[in-house]
Every structure is written in structure tokens, then in C-alpha cells.
Amino acid sequence: MNAPSITTSSARSPAVPTRFDLAAALKDSAKSALIAFGLSIPIVAYRTDQSGADLFLNPRWDMVAIFCAIVFGLRLAQHAFMASRAAREAVPSPTQATELVHAEPSAFQKASRFGIPFFLGVALAFPILIYLIQGGLNESRYWVDLGILILTYVMLGWGLNIVVGLAGLLDLGYVAFYAVGAYSYALLSTTFGLSFWICLPLAGILAAFWGIVLGFPVLRLRGDYLAIVTLAFGEIIRLVLINWVDLTNGGAGISSIPRATFFGIPFTAGEGGFADTFGLEFNGMHRMIFLYYLILALALLTNFVTMRLRKLPVGRAWEALREDEIACRSLGINTTNTKLTAFAIGAMFGGFAGSFFAVRQGFISPESFNFLESAIILAIVVMGGMGSQIGVAIAAIVLVGGPEVLRNLTFLQAVFGSGFDPNEYRLLLFGAGMVAMMVWRPRGLISERQPSVILKERKAISGSLVKEGHG
């Protein structure tokens, strides 16, 4: 056992810089961005527009900023990629020498450590940043709307992460709980006039109930069988919503769902509205910004609860279940209940997100809850790295925000023709992204697992040791 340890460790330490030097990478990326800035001044910064006989110079500094940001991001990503590859090549694979695979903090982990406060800060300040950049409330409407959309998917990804990432149960019908939550709010508020804050927990409870209903028949299923049954469950819920016309109004959906209020104060123009109460000038954007912070709070709640659960016995039992169900049973863990709680809690957060969706849209129909949604949410979880919270958030931003950003890059239309709508290529991009991921990071963006408890020293666990579960 000693011989390989000597050879491998000596081969590893001196030659390759396995540690990711974040400061140097940032510096280098900033340099690259500066060069891009310099280059784009003559090329991009001004556009010449002809109007009649006159030629106008139109400044396009926002384009320059986007270019620089892209160059910076790509360069940083390149550094991270190179560093992680170097580290991977330097460390022998676990099958070669089981003793020596120390889970050194990798580039992505370091990036995530620095990334969490960064992302949180950006998320909290987002509406203000957008307001400043766009120079007005109405101008920032699109961006705040996009922020809300992304955060909804972040929350859904985190909810599904409990079932798929922690408990290792493949759930292809997660959108069913999203639908249950949305219809719960829509029906409770339109029929009984209950307020959003009362409906929210009710929607969560109802979704959790349906999570358990789904959980029971699938308890004994594994792998492909589990995937098929959950897929069917998602479709059944959608078909019930379409066909139970008396209750759900069928395919026509439910409209005029009560809008969100600021803890009872409606966002209306007149007397007693939000703007009036706080002495502001009325603007529809107030409601949007409120919705933005509402979904941010809900998403952070999901994250907070998940992080807490991971350190509680249920969370550890979920992960143990993913690792080895038989060993769990031999240690006195009731695997049935453990799986059901995973389904129920995951579904509950789906239900919360659903009622948020209903209150935001004001209109819901079964078509919002098709299989594609489930697939997107699952793709977010898988791409993010199963079980990794920050990875899921990044994947949601990339998968949901990416196509929208592409749409805004006008030069793409110059390249691909004026009718080009990247949103129509969303699935293509998804597919390409997934294939690329499976080639380069088959275990997701952030595959390392963080231990839930430590005795002396925090060491991340290499993704190659973590099992994916049996379903």
C-alpha cells in the first residue's frame, strides 16, 4: 500500500500547479476585458446611421460593456477549466490508487465559494442595478421580468434537487406539483377569496400531499420504471386539469386570478393603493419589483431549508439512501418514510413556486405545465451537478437566461438574418449544452459533494465517489 503512495505523490506535487489561483485568473481576465474594450471602441462603440443625407453617430456603450463582460467571463471560465483539468490529470483516478485521492478544493469549488456572496449580492441588488443601467423603471421592465423567470426556475431546480440530487430518485413529473400549487392558489383565491399569504402554505401542503400520493406507488420502483411512472404522473395531472372542466375550466384555463398585494395593500393607481400609501408616483413596475423580491425570498427559503435539512438526520438519510438502500435498512432507517418525505418536501417547494406562478401571471392553463417544463427543471438539476445548490442556480441562469440574452444580441440577427429568434432554438441549445456537459463534466457543473458535518477539516468529496442513486 505504501509503494504507490510514494510514486504518485511525488509525481503530483511539484510539476503541475493544481491549485487555482483566483487572483491571477481575475487579473488576467480583467486584462483580456481591457483589450476587448480597446478593440471595441473603434469597431462597436459607435454605429453610423444614415438618415436622409445626414450621417449620425449612435453611441452603443451598452454593447461594449456586454462584449467586455463576455470576454471577461469566457477568459475566467477558461482559466477555471484549465486549472480543473490540470488538477484532474495530476490526481490519479480513484481506481488506480484508492488511498490517494484527496479531494483538493478544485477550481469550481473555489469559484463557488467566492460565487455565493457574489450571486446573492447581485440577486438582491438586481432591480436597483437594472434601474440604474436602464435609467428608468419602465425601461427595466423586461429585465426584472427575466429575473423573476430565472428565479422561478432556480427555486424549482432547488426543490427538485431534494428528490433527485439528495435522495437519488429520478422524478420526471415534477411539473405536476408546480401545477398543483398554481391551481391551488387560483382556485382557492377565485372561489373563496383567500389571500395569497393564506393560499401559499395551503398550496404547499396540497402539493406535498400529492407528492406522497405519487410516492406510494413508486416506492418499490427503481431506475427506468421510476422515471416512467413519474413521467406518467405528470401527464395524468395535466390531463385531469384539461378534462375536469367543472373545476378547472379545462383548456381555457383560469383567468383573473387576484394579483399580489403588498401585505394587503393592492398595487393599484387609485386611493389606498401601494403608490398612494407610500407617497410614490404610480407605476406598474412596483408590483413587478415586489414580485421579484417575493420569488427571491421564496427561492432563498427553499435553499435555506434544504441546507438545514442536509444537516439533519432526514437529509443524511436521503443521501445515505442514494448511496446504498440496503445498508440503510440494516441501520434501522425506515426507507419508505424517508423516500416519502423526500417526495413530499420536494413537491411542497414545487407547490410554492406554482402559486407564485399563478399570482404573477394572473392566468393559468394546463399548457403551462407540460412535460417540457419537467425536462427543463430536470436539465437544470443535472447540469448544475446533482445535489449542488450553487450549481443548480448557475444552470438555471444559463438555461433560462441564456436564450433570452441571445435574443437581445442584435448582432446575431445581423449574422443569421433579421428573423432570427434564439428562443426558437432553445431546445437545440439545451441539447447541445447537455451533450457538451456530458462530454466535459458528466457529473454536472459542480460535482463535488460538501460533507454535512466535519470533525476537523473540511474536505470536499470527489464526484466520482458519490453515487447517483438508483432512479
The CB-of-65 to other proteins minimum distance in angstroms stands at 42
**Which listed range, 149-157, 247-255, 319-327, 392-400, lies at the site for other proteins (CB under 8 A)?**
319-327
Stretch near other proteins under the rule CB under 8 A, chosen from 45-53, 65-73, 303-311, 423-431: 303-311
Instruction: Work out how close the CB of 297 gets to other proteins at its nearest, in angstroms, rounded to a whole number.
Output: 17
Taking the C-alpha atoms of residue 377 and residue 154, their distance in angstroms, rounded to an integer, is 9
What is the closest distance, in whole angstroms, from the C-beta atom of residue 41 to other proteins in the complex?
51
Closest to other proteins by CB, 316 vs 407, is 316
Give, as ranges, the residues between 331 and 350 that touch other proteins (CB under 8 A).
331-335, 341
Give the Cβ contact number of residue 293 at 10 Å.
15
Would you count residue 327 as binding other proteins (CB under 8 A)?
yes
Q: Residue 469's closest CA among 306, 335, 299?
A: 335
Task: Examine residue 212 and tell whether it contacts other proteins (CB under 8 A).
Answer: no
Angle between helices 175-192 and 223-243 (to 10 degrees): 30
In order of 153, 208, 380, the CA distances from 232 in angstroms are 22, 18, 20
Binding of residue 330 to other proteins (CB under 8 A): yes
Looking at 244, 329, 427, 432, which residue binds other proteins (CB under 8 A)?
A: 329
Pattern 156-195, binding to other proteins, x per CB under 8 A?
Answer: ----------------------------------------
Enter the DSSP assignment of 57. E
When the beta carbons of 286 and 449 are compared against other proteins, the nearer one is 449
196 contacts: CB under 8 Å, gap ≥ 6: 185, 189, 258, 260, 261, 355, 359
Ranges of beta strands (E only) in 212-359 are 261-262, 265-266
Give yes or no for residue 6 binding other proteins (CB under 8 A): no
Instruction: Provide, rounded to whole angstroms, the least separation between the CB of residue 320 and other proteins.
Output: 4
- Kindly give, in sequence order, each residue whose CB lies less than 8 Å from that of residue 161, ignoring residues fewer than 6 positions away: 306, 346, 381, 384, 386, 387, 389, 392
d(CA 176, CA 405): 28
Smallest distance from the beta carbon of 159 to other proteins, in angstroms?
Answer: 15
- Given a contact cutoff of 8 angstroms between Cβ atoms, the answer to whether 178 and 347 are in contact is no
How many other C-beta atoms are found inside a 10 Å radius of the C-beta of residue 202? 16
Separation in Å, CA 213 to CA 136, 176, 183, 207, 374: 48, 12, 17, 10, 18
- 467 lies in the binding site for other proteins (CB under 8 A): yes
Out of 38, 59, 73, 94, the residue judged to bind other proteins by CB under 8 A: 94
Residue 279 near other proteins by CB under 8 A:
no
Asked whether 163 and 228 are in contact (CB, 8 A), the reply is no
Closer by beta carbon to other proteins, 79 or else 449: 449
- In terms of residues, how long is the chain? 471
Tell the smallest beta-carbon distance from residue 148 to other proteins (Å).
Answer: 27
CA dist list (Å): 2 to 11, 94, 95, 96: 15, 16, 16, 13
Q: Quick one: which segment of 51-59, 204-212, 241-249, 325-333 binds other proteins (CB under 8 A)?
A: 325-333
Binding flag, residue 399, other proteins (CB under 8 A): no
The DSSP output letter for 414 is: H
CB half-sphere exposure, 110, CA atoms < 13 A:
20
The residue within the footprint of other proteins, chosen from 314, 347, 376, 381 (CB under 8 A), is: 314
Total interface residues for other proteins by CB under 8 A:
45
* Residue 83 CB, nearest approach to other proteins (Å): 22
Is the separation of the CB atoms in 275 and 285 below 8 Å? no
Q: How far is the CB of 27 from other proteins (least distance, A)?
A: 33
Work out how close the CB of 451 gets to other proteins at its nearest, in angstroms, rounded to a whole number: 5
Applying CB under 8 A, among 68, 87, 103, 294 the residue interacting with other proteins is: 103
Among 162, 206, 319, 368, binds other proteins (CB under 8 A): 319
Interface with other proteins by CB under 8 A: which residues? 1, 94, 98-99, 101, 103, 305, 308-309, 312-314, 316-317, 319-320, 322-324, 326-335, 341, 449, 451-459, 461-462, 465-467
